[in-house]
């Protein structure tokens, strides 16, 4: 992803390859998820292809290296919610699309209240799904300099874990071509 969306190109153009490699090393050390106050599960992508996944199983995931084509790490990075119930193959070709029942099972299994994830652009910067038990928050306004969406962030009340949303719009873009550092293959996807 660093190569595809322009991070590598921008860092190596403005700095050097060594700094880019340090970023890649740091990214590989970041956690896959976090639980806040033993009630809110925060993850990039989403939930799992099987029921009954526990926080202890997640803790045992080997974080080192690139994600495989399937498994808990890949699902945490690539899965997305879907309306309704059940699971189906993901439109992304990796991870799963999971329904409200999957969210409810995961929360019940782990005595949690809420799932917060990102991974999908939302017009208003966030979206509440699965009867309020799953929130998608997306902090990149005007995604890929093309989408016109708002970004948002969430603040959680420390006692009740009630979310408060703050949407925001994009600021003027620096004087560079949109997605200038992205992989040229992306140009055909975004009409650039």
Question: What is the average pLDDT across 6-25?
Answer: 94
CA dihedral of 165, 82, 119, 34, whole degrees rounded to 10: 70
17: closest CA among 36, 34, 2? Answer: 2
Residue extents of the structural domains in the chain: 1-30, 31-173
Give the span between the Cα atoms of 53 and 106, in whole angstroms: 7
Q: What pLDDT does 144 receive?
A: 81
Options 3.60.21.10, 3.40.50.300, 3.30.565.10, 3.40.50.1110; CATH of 31-173: 3.60.21.10
Mean pLDDT lowest among 98-102, 142-146, 155-159, 168-172 = 142-146
* CB count in 10 Å sphere of residue 87: 18
Q: What is the pLDDT of residue 187?
A: 53
Whole-model pTM: value is 0.88
CB 94 within 8 A of CB 69: yes
- 128 pLDDT higher than 70: yes
Q: How confident is the model at residue 186 (pLDDT cuts 50, 70, 90)?
A: low
- Report the alpha-carbon distance of residue 63 to residue 78 in Å, rounded: 15
Determine the Cα–Cα distance for residues 14 and 20; give it in Å rounded to an integer: 10
- By C-alpha distance, which of 67, 70, 66, 92 is closest to 81? 92
Q: What is the pLDDT of residue 60?
A: 95
**123-151 average pLDDT score:** 95
Query: What average pLDDT is seen over the chain?
Result: 91
Write the pLDDT tens digit of every residue in 62-92. 888 788 888 999 999 999 999 999 999 999 9
User: pLDDT category, 184, cuts 50, 70, 90?
Assistant: confident
pLDDT at position 145, please?
Answer: 82
**Alpha carbon 143 to its chain's center:** 14
């Amino acid at each position: 992803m660093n190569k595809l969306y322009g991070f590598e190109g921008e860092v190596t153009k403005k700095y050097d390859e060594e700094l880019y490699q340090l970023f890649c090393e740091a990214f590989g050390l970041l956690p896959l998820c976090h639980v806040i106050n033993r009630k809110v599960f925060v993850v990039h992508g989403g939930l799992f292809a099987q029921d009954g996944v526990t926080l202890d199983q997640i803790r045992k995931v080997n974080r080192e290296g690139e994600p495989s084509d399937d498994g808990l790490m890949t699902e945490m990075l690539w899965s997305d919610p879907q309306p309704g119930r059940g699971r189906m193959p993901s439109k992304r070709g990796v991870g799963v699309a999971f329904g409200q029942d999957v969210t409810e099972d995961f929360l019940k299994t782990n005595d949690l209240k809420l799932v917060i994830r990102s991974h999908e652009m939302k017009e208003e910067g966030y979206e509440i799904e699965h009867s309020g038990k799953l929130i998608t928050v997306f902090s990149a306004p005007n995604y890929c300099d093309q989408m016109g969406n708002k970004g948002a962030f969430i603040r959680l009340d420390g006692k009740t874990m009630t979310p408060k949303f703050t949407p925001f719009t994009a600021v003027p873009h620096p004087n560079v071509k949109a997605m200038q550092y992205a992989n040229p293959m992306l140009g055909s996807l975004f009409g650039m």
